Amino acid sequence: MKTRLLGGIAALLLAVTGIVLLVTYVQGADKRAQQGLDPVSVLVVKERIPAGTKAEDIQSKLKTETLPQSAVAPGTINTLTDQKGKVTSADLQPGEQLLGVKLVSPKELVPGTVPVPEGLQEATFVLAPERMLGGRVEAGDTVTVFASFKLDDAVPAGANVPAGLTGWKDFTELLYHDVLVTAVQQAAPDAEKSAGSEKAVALPNGSAYVTVALSDANAAKMVFGAEFGTLWLSKQTEKTVKSDPPTTTFGGLVQ
């Protein structure tokens, strides 16, 4: 009886050992096979990304996958570290690998234009050079929009206006931050006026048509500013500090 029990235990141990060895072998074989295929980490699209989306805004719509080298498309990238400032050149669909050529400078999409972000629409305004950085605003720039008004009469006391504006007929208001310029149409610089130092910036030739991407509500306010006042653009940078200043009047300016 004791001999049979010991034999049964030994057989069980041998069976367990065999299973462990088999699993270890299979796992090792899988790893060896994958190593032989040179596994590579790549970025794969997990939800639709519209054309014109900034590289800084697509990370949450991507996932990292490890694929055999043979299954990786040429030019696929595995990080967005060096893609800052670029945008997607076309719609990206779920499941496709992210190719470096699909991320380009905004100016490369269509000469002088950039795509309109999803949900926004375009509106065009005619601006004199001094109201758009001397004509240096370009498609792809992000700007802050200001509107200045000169009223025939002072704002009446009962009008629904910001605090501090009542009684003043001239004022400037910051309308929006982060407005995308999608196109700029401007005549070539005047060669004669631009003559001189090689380092001098060429002088713009006349006003320009500046097209921006806005929501319908914001476009209405900007249209009103252009129709009954004047618009000014300031160009933002990556380090621009954005605040919410009060309406500027002469009284507020000299305080």
Domain ranges of the chain: 40-104, 121-253
pLDDT of residue 254: 45
In sequence order, which residues have a C-beta less than 8 Å from that of residue 130 and are 6 or more positions away? none
Nearest to 191 by CA among 200, 179, 182, 183: 200
Give, as one character, the DSSP assignment of residue 49: B
Per-residue pLDDT of 150-180, as tens digits, reads 876 655 555 555 555 555 567 888 999 999 9
* CA 82 – CA 55 distance, rounded (Å): 10
Say how many CA atoms lie within 13 Å of 238 toward its Cβ: 3
- CATH fold of 40-104 reads Type Iii Antifreeze Protein Isoform Hplc 12 (3.90.1210)
Nearest residue to 97 (alpha-carbon basis) of 74, 114, 118: 74
Secondary structure percentages of the chain, helix, strand, coil, to 5: 30, 30, 40
Give the residue ranges of the chain where pLDDT is below 70: 1-18, 20-23, 25-37, 107, 109-112, 152-169, 187-205, 250-255
Q: What is the pLDDT of residue 231?
A: 96
pLDDT of residue 45: 92
Residue 177 and residue 144 in contact, taking contact as beta carbons nearer than 8 Å: yes
pLDDT in the model for residue 191:
53
Distance of alpha carbon 73 from alpha carbon 97, whole angstroms: 7
Q: Which residues contact 100 (CB under 8 A, 6 or more apart)?
A: 75, 76, 77, 83
Structure-derived torsion over alpha carbons of residues 69, 75, 77, 83, reported in degrees to the nearest 10: 170
Q: What residues does 171 pair with on adjacent strands?
A: 149, 249
**Using CA atoms, how far apart are residues 56 and 209, in angstroms rounded to an integer?**
28
pLDDT digits (tens, 9 = 90+) for 217-229: 999 999 999 999 9
Distance separating alpha carbons of residues 150 and 168, to the nearest angstrom: 9
**Report field, pTM of the whole predicted structure over 0.75:** no
Handedness of CA 113, 119, 125, 131 (dihedral sign): negative
Q: What is the Cα–Cα distance from 81 to 98, expressed in whole angstroms? A: 13
- Residue indicated by tokens 């758009």: 132
Q: Whole-angstrom Cα distance, residue 104 to residue 52?
A: 9
